[in-house]
Amino acid sequence: MSSIKLESNASGTGIFTIASPNSNTNRTLTLPDNTGTILTAASTPAFASTIGVGGATAAASGAGITFPATASASSDVNTLDDYEEGTWTPIIGGSSGQSGQSYTLQVGTYVKVGKIVVASFRATLSNKGTISGTYVQIKGLPFTIQTAEIQSGSPLYFVSLATNWITLNLQTEENSTNAYVWGMTAAGVSRTYPAASDIGNSTQLAGILVYQST
């Protein structure tokens, strides 16, 4: 059985106090096997492993902060309450839906820090199927876009369209997981939106979209 040793410091005059909690239940303090010094009020925190916050179980590898799978949202605007990395499946679809599609490549990754989402993707069709609705969209973003009247966008890489375009871009659709595709077929003062007929059976779209989630 291990023993507990409390040792005084001959050069110090302060009193070391272990106070019992104001509770009727038992409390246990378990010290790790690693060597080191317990933090004091005057210490600058330093951790050699991962710590869990918000009820999350600390990761068993590396060193850092582990957040819970579902964010424990804080009302304090200066508190970072979420971090996540993962994958998602991008869809080249229409504002009213899509069906009968197949892809040769369909990959997406994301990083979420607080409410900010950085979503990267590449999707290459082998059969565009039926794209319905007025607008072509990138669908399936990993988190719902904020509801406020604030839109974000980004340039869109494209290959093998069915018609000629000089530029394509993305525009977020609020309170959804979709982004509109828009662009220019010639120099002008306003944008236009591709239709299903502008998408070919081997069209490839790729990009990085940064937006704020709800």
CA distance linking residue 63 with residue 47, whole number of Å: 8
Write the pLDDT tens digit of every residue in 139-171: 999 999 998 777 788 999 999 999 999 999 999
Which candidate, 59, 121, 74, places its Cα nearest to that of 93? 121
- 154 contacts 209 by C-beta, under 8 angstroms: yes
Domain parsing of the chain, residue ranges: 86-212
Contact 199, 174 (CB under 8 A): no
Look up tokens 């997981």; give the residue.
Answer: 177
Least trusted range by pLDDT, from 16-25, 84-93, 134-143, 178-187:
16-25
Instruction: Give 74's pLDDT tier (boundaries 50, 70, 90).
Output: confident
pLDDT at 83: 95
**What is the pLDDT at residue 34?**
65
Q: Are 167 and 155 in contact (CB under 8 A)?
A: yes
Predicted confidence at residue 95, as pLDDT, reads: 97
What's the CA gap between 107 and 109, in Å, rounded?
A: 7
The confidence score (pLDDT) of residue 13 equals 82
User: Which one is predicted more confidently, 61 or 119?
Assistant: 119
Fold of the domain spanning 86-212: Immunoglobulin-like (2.60.40)
In the block, residue with structure tokens 């369909």: 106
Q: Which has more confidence, 58 or 204?
A: 204
Q: Which phi and psi angles does 145 have, rounded to 5°?
A: -75, 145
